[in-house]
Amino acid sequence: MEVNDALIDNLSNLARLEFSAEEKEGIKKDLRRMIEFVEKLGELDTTGVEPLLHMSPSINVLRDDIPQGSVTREQALSNAPATDGTYFKVPKVIRKI
C-alpha cells in the first residue's frame, strides 16, 4: 500500500481533521511504519497455530438474565435528601439567560 499525500488527505477528510504540511509528513512516516509492521506480521509462519477466539478458556461466564424485584419507589425516595410527592427534588442546574 502506497502512503502518499492523497491518502493522508482522504483520511484527514474522513476524520474531519486538518494538518499542516509538516504534520502530514510525520503522519506519512508513522503510517508507513505501521503498514510495514503489519506486512511483517503477514510473513510469519503460523502453521500449526490454532486461531485464538478468546483470551481465556472461559466462555460466556455471565449469569442468566432473570428479572428480579427491585427497590420500591418509597424505599428509593426514603433515601433522598428532598422529595416532591413521588419525585426526587434536585437543585436547578440550567438557568435561563
pLDDT one-digit tens code per residue, 40-60:
999 999 899 888 887 787 777
Indicate the pLDDT class of residue 37, thresholds 50, 70 and 90: very high
Total domain count, the chain: 1
Q: Note down the domain range covering 24.
A: 5-43
77 within some domain: no
Report the alpha-carbon distance of residue 39 to residue 3 in Å, rounded.
Answer: 14
How many other CB atoms are there within 10 angstroms of residue 34's CB atom?
11
**Is 27 in contact with 20 (CB distance < 8 Å)?**
no
- The predicted structure's pLDDT at residue 67: 86
88 within some domain: no
**Is 3 in contact with 11 (CB distance < 8 Å)?**
no
What the block records as the C-alpha cell of 57 is: 478458556
Question: What does the pLDDT average to over 19-35?
Answer: 96
Prediction pTM value = 0.50
Q: Which helix (H) or strand (E) holds 84?
A: strand 83-84
The mean pLDDT of the chain is 90
87 within some domain: no
30 within some domain: yes
23 within some domain: yes
pLDDT at 36 over 80: yes
Question: What does the pLDDT average to over 53-69?
Answer: 80
